[in-house]
Structure formats: C-alpha cells, structure tokens
Amino acid sequence: MVVPLIGYLDRFSARPGERLAVKVSSALGEPYEADLVRIRHADPNPAGPGMKLIPVPAPWAGRYPSRAQPVHRGSWGRAEGVLDLGESFTVALRVQPWLLREAPQTLLALEGPGRRLILRVTAGGVEAEAVAEGATARCAVAAPPVARRWYEVTATLRDGRLRLAQRPLRPSWGAADAGAAEARLAAVPWSGRFAVTFAAEAGPDGTMRGHLNGRLEDPLLLRGAAPFVPVAPEALLASGRLAAWWDFRRGIEGEGIEDRGPAGLHGRLVNLPARAVRGSAWDGGAHCWRHDPAQYGAIHFHEDDLEDCGWATDFEVDIPADMPSGVYGVRLRAGGQWDVIPFFVPPPRGEARAPIAYLAGTFTYQVYANYRRVELPESQLARRAEWGAYPHCGNLDADYGLSTYNTHPDGSGIHLSSRLRPIFNLRPGFLAVPDEKGSGLRHLPADSHLTDWLEEKGFAFDVITDEDLDEEGLPLLARYRCVVTGSHPEYHTQRTLDALQDYVAQGGRLAYLGGNGFYWKVARRPDRPHILEIRRAEGGIRAWAAEPGEYYHQLDGTLGGLWRRNGRPPQMLCGVGFSGQGKFEGSHYRLLPEAEDPRVAWILEGTGLRPGDAFGGFGLSGGGAAGFELDRADPMLGTPPNAVILARSEGHQEHFVTVPEELLTHITTVTGEPPEALIRSEIVHFETRGGGAVFSVGSITFCGSLSHGGYRNPISRMLENVLRRFSA
C-alpha cells in the first residue's frame, strides 16, 4: 500500500542551536499542515492516561505543498572510465545466486558509445545481451543453476561471435548446471568511455532495475578470448591482458570498489549491500575477514537493500537555545492522514540541566525499524482503528525497508539498518504486538510510559540518546547524578557499554528499567553515523542466524553477536541478564525476605509490601510488571556479591521458554537448575564505589505498570523511592 503522508529527519536528535532537516512524501492533492508537539505519552489505550501530544509554538509551523517522493530500493555498484578493449575481449565473474526466478536478474552491464553488453541470470541459466552498431545479439545457457552454489560466468566477443559459458566451481551430483551458448555479433572495436554496473542495470528512465539477489565476486575485463578465468586473478596482472579487475576484497569496511587493472575504474556501492561475506575461496580456514581477505572477496546484493531514501528537504526545524530537553515530534496532517516524526532534544553540549538523564535507546529503535512481525491478527488492525492508533507498519508496507529482525527475499538476514528513512514503529500510537491485557507497545511508545511518569512525579530530567553516548562517552554521563534506561536497551556498541560501565564504576547511579538489555553488540562508524550493523552470531534468541564464517562486522572488523559471547554479560553492568522469554504477557513479582535488609528497606517505604506479598500483576504492558522478556541475577556471569534480590517474578505462562544460551541440553542448563527455573525476573539493587548504585527491574513490561491506579501503586512508589535517592 502507498503511505499517503509520511516523512523522516536527517537525525534522531539535535541540541539547542542545531537544525533538523524534514523530508516529506505526500501523495495527497492538497497541502499539509506541519507543527511541533512534545511527546509525553504515546499510548492510545483508553484504559490508560491516553495520548499526550502537547503542541509547542514553532516559527516553521504552517502549510507546505504536497509532493510525492519515490524510494529506490535495491543495492548495486557502479564504475566509470575510459576502456580500450579492442574487438576481442572477455567479461568474467563469479556468481552465487541465492534467489532464482524466471525473471532475469542482472549480473553486470557494460555500456558505452553504441555498445552494450549485459549478463543476467534466471532460473534456467545465464543470459547475455549485446548491442553493437545497432545490431542486437542474445544467447542463453540452458543449464539451471543451483541456488547458493558458485558459478563462473564468462562472455567472450571474438571473430564476430558472442560466446557465453556457465561453469560450476564445485560440480555436484545430479545437477546438469554447466553449459555454453553463442550468437553472432558484428566485430567492432569496443573503445571509449564506459559505465559498468554490478547487480543491476539502468532502465529507460534511468532508475535501476533487475536487481540481483545473490553474491558477486571478481568481475573483470580481459583483452582477448578466454574459455575460463583462473580463480586467482592476480595471475593475470602481469600478463598485460587484464583491462579491469574489481577486487571486492579491498575496502571491505567501506562502500568503495577498487579496480586493480591499468584503467583504474574505481567505483562505489549503492544502498548498502552486505560485505565481509564468504566468497568462492572460503574453506573454513578463516572466520574473520581481516585475517584472510582472499576468502571474503564477495559482495551480497539484495533487491530490497536501502541506505537512504534520498528525499529532498521540505523544511527545517531550528532548535531554540531555550528549548527544554525532551522528546518531541514533527506532526504532519492533511486529508484525514497524519504522521508524527519523533526526535530528541538533549541539553546544550557540555551542559546538564537536570540531575537525571533518560537514555533513549535509539540503537534499539533503529535495529527494530519497520519490523515485519510474524503475527498481525485482524483484531490488531481493528484495535488500531478503534483507538485511533498509528495505522501503518512493516507488515503492510515494505517500501522503506524492513528491520534486522527480518530477512531479505533470498532468505539471508538483514544485518544493516539505516535511520535515513521513515520508521513506522517509532511513531506515537504504534501498536506493536497483540496484547489482550494491555496496549502491546514496544520501544519509543512503550518508553513513554516512563517519561510520562517522570513528569507526573515531578522529576526533572534531560534526554540523551545512544548516538550521543556513542560519540561523547563517559563525560556525557558524568554530568548526571542518575541515568535511567527505557524498557528495552538491547543493542549497544562497545563505546556505549564502556561509558555505562565506567559511569557505574566511578560512582554513578544507574536505573535499568527494562528487560533483555545490553544483549547484542552492534557496530557503528563515525563517518557513517546513520548506519548500524548486527551479526547474529553463535547463540541467543534470534530471528535468523549468521552464516558460518560471517560473524565479524564489515563496518569495523570486530566480532559480533551477544555481548555475553564477547565476555561482557549484562550482569556485569546491571546485575541481571536475559534468561527467559514468552509472548507479550505479564505476571507479578513476589517480595523476598531479603527485601528487609537495611541496605534496601528504604526502597519499599510507602509501598505497604511485606515479604511474601505479590505485587505488580497489572499494567498497560501485558497486564503485569514482570513479562515478555525476563532478566535474572547470576554471580557466575557478574552479579556483584553485595547485590540484594528484593523480588522475584512467578506465575509465568506455559509459552515462556528459557533462552538458548542458558541451555546445555534439553534438560540441563549452565547453572545446573532445571530450564523452567530460569524463567524469572528479579529486582536487584547493589552499591558501587564512591556512592554509586544500580537498581534493575529485569522486565520489559515493568514501566507499563507505573500509571496504574492514577500513578499510585507499589511499582510506582518503589521506583519513586529509588529515583529520589539516586538523584539526590
């Protein structure tokens, strides 16, 4: 479906004195209204406080003309320069098709003055089309390739003939996947300025089409005829016959492609294809591309890759010097359609205007961007309409790219995510998951349960983001007495995790108010700040698994996967770590005798709770404060010896399971406990050096309980006690 009115910003956050660019696509036949709102509560559930989008005067607010802006998905590469190939030459490359169709997918297109040679692959075999002196020649190999196997493809022009060959690098039993074909073509010199595109070709209107779903390796141009080309093109460098060789082993961490031939036709990649993937030479001897780049000479292209929608800017938002830190949104409205594009305003650089910093989990928001979920029942769509919730989602529209929890059409996992595109599930009022007992919110809308509560209780707080923390590190946190997280701070870089760990170690106070936090490692580069990379390596609950030998990030060459597999379990930072998961459903905690310890008794003041009492079986998230994804303490993984477990969840539903990294077999676990015993959330407190402390609740659904009973309940009072002391 076409989204009639939608937009995105060039950044997630801007400080006072900075500016945001607003990029809008409107297919409506009338102007749209734009204004500024402060996002206090983003839950449309009528059983709760309701949506609180507070208008804020802004000089840029007003009417703007509608214009539809297209999205061009699909990755490809391009190089351009002068070539002198003569009348006889060979184009060669290796291809690993991952998704074979009857419709052709382009491997390489060579286009120059009056000349064109295009290689394509279909489910029936490879094809070639050549144009010279106004005449067209076509030929096709009748040898169906096998998906995910490597083939060498050569196209040779010689003596007025075009000869095409397809050869498997590792022949397999039962596959007749080798063959050749030829056609007549005028013998003319191929010289002049040529454009070479990889994995796509330009259509008549200039847009790219025929995107490949698969891997390419070592495309080259060779003077003279060659029935096949050596697997190692280095052998051709000294022969003088090599006109161009795009060596994809070079510059894996970037978007450039290098021509090692004499013409130097270097090029660029478009729309973030996957690099640091296994090539045809991979033999298992290396598992990190930095150790042996020769085994990682391939690039994996996809028809749905998207780095940047590339829309023109419609207007700009200047952040006034006196604008309070907070969560805001650019609201667009016209013809019954609406959109709210969230952004964050931290305090001026080098300043703190409040004792508390709320760390918005923008890395997690981006990793989940436009998540197409397995489940989207009709009842969910009906509820959206009934509550006036945000209507669009990745299940209904994939034009803006999906999340790293989804796969490409060829089945490979999406491991790169950009924020330069509309993100549906960032919108206020977005209902993410079926939730019979609550609202079903995730991420920014769910985190508004906390920011609304902070305002209701009169806590002064600044908003900072994961990006801010990644760029500024510990000095950003050190200005605050207390740092609080939202419901799901799952994804972190080494820089953000280091900063949080150092903050706590040096006396900072951290309130971790979610579940499944600090779980996956992501990579980010300062020169490409809009991109995040995740490699779902080895273990963990995951939507797809990285291929063997592809556990290392292309952006920085470091090992991806769980932070636990990188030697930094979440328990080392916040005392608890991911242990169990179920559907979006909550349960309650039960207060333990340890809660009467004088070190933590103050947390319970005014709650009316006594050891043995159950509490928290309510809320807007799954109907309970302990639900969906649960964290527990574990001394073996880093929970400090002085940590006190105040409460433990119980009564979880039968659909909850223990996470894979805790299991040794189907009946044994790394702790020796039965698997079902690890399905629990624990509320933990411990102190650190220099007056620091950590309070962790171990549940994603915790913050959904804060507003219950008019913001007066044991969950609310407990957190209020903690933050009063932490921010004092």
Checking if the pLDDT of 375 tops 90, the result is no
DSSP 103: S
User: How far from 670 is each of 333, 394, 664, 666, 718, CA to CA, in Å?
Assistant: 54, 37, 6, 12, 32
DSSP 324: P
For position 229, what pLDDT does the model report? Answer: 66
For position 285, what pLDDT does the model report? Answer: 94
For position 238, what pLDDT does the model report? Answer: 80
Locate CATH 2.60.120.200 in the chain.
Answer: 76-301
Of 276, 257, 267, 272, the closest CA to residue 305 belongs to 272
Q: What percent of the chain has pLDDT over 70?
A: 99
For position 236, what pLDDT does the model report? Answer: 82
Half-sphere exposure in the Cβ direction for 335 (13 Å, CA): 13
Helix (H, G, I), strand (E, B) or coil at 235: helix
For position 214, what pLDDT does the model report? Answer: 98
Segment 222-245 mean pLDDT: 80
Q: pLDDT digits over 408-428, tens only?
A: 999 999 999 999 999 999 999
For position 231, what pLDDT does the model report? Answer: 57
For position 374, what pLDDT does the model report? Answer: 86
Checking if the pLDDT of 665 tops 80, the result is yes
Looking at domain 76-301, does it have CATH number 2.60.120.200?
yes
Checking if the pLDDT of 517 tops 80, the result is yes
CATH number for the 327-726 domain, one of 1.10.10.10, 3.30.70.100, 3.40.50.880, 3.40.120.10?
3.40.50.880
DSSP per position, 493-508: -HHHHHHHHHHHHTT-
Q: pLDDT digits over 254-297, tens only?
A: 999 999 999 899 999 999 999 999 999 999 999 999 999 999 99
Q: pLDDT digits over 80-108, tens only?
A: 999 999 999 999 999 999 999 999 999 99
Checking if the pLDDT of 566 tops 90, the result is yes
Q: pLDDT digits over 452-489, tens only?
A: 999 999 999 999 999 999 999 999 999 999 999 999 99
For position 314, what pLDDT does the model report? Answer: 98
Least confident of 226-230, 317-321, 619-623, 633-637: 226-230
Query: Residue 645 and residue 643: Cα distance in Å, rounded?
Result: 7
Checking if the pLDDT of 320 tops 60, the result is yes
For position 76, what pLDDT does the model report? Answer: 98
For position 172, what pLDDT does the model report? Answer: 82
Query: Residue 11 and residue 530: Cα distance in Å, rounded?
Result: 8
For position 345, what pLDDT does the model report? Answer: 98
Of 199, 172, 192, 341, the closest CA to residue 268 belongs to 199
Checking if the pLDDT of 553 tops 70, the result is yes
Which helix (H) or strand (E) segment is 474 a member of? helix 474-478
Segment 367-382 mean pLDDT: 89
- Residue tagged 């993937």 (tokens): 277
DSSP 165: E
Residue 512 contacts by C-beta under 8 Å, 6 or more apart in sequence? 485, 489, 573, 574, 576, 694, 695, 696, 697
For position 38, what pLDDT does the model report? Answer: 98
Query: Residue 69 and residue 71: Cα distance in Å, rounded?
Result: 7
For position 451, what pLDDT does the model report? Answer: 98
Of 139, 99, 107, the closest CA to residue 123 belongs to 99
Q: What percent of the chain has pLDDT over 90?
A: 92
Q: pLDDT digits over 575-604, tens only?
A: 999 999 999 999 999 999 999 999 999 999
For position 378, what pLDDT does the model report? Answer: 82
Dihedral sign, Cα of residue 209, residue 212, residue 216, residue 219: negative
Of 651, 639, 635, the closest CA to residue 586 belongs to 651
For position 222, what pLDDT does the model report? Answer: 93
For position 235, what pLDDT does the model report? Answer: 79
**Mean pLDDT for the chain overall:** 96
Locate CATH 3.40.50.880 in the chain.
Answer: 327-726
- Rounded to 5 degrees, what are φ and ψ at 471? -85, -30
Checking if the pLDDT of 227 tops 80, the result is no
Q: pLDDT digits over 140-149, tens only?
A: 999 999 999 9
Query: Residue 97 and residue 157: Cα distance in Å, rounded?
Result: 24
- Residue tagged 């998905």 (tokens): 73
For position 225, what pLDDT does the model report? Answer: 82
For position 171, what pLDDT does the model report? Answer: 84
Query: b/e per residue, 600-627, with b = 16+ CB within 10 A?
Result: beebbeebebeeebbbbbbbbbbbbbbb
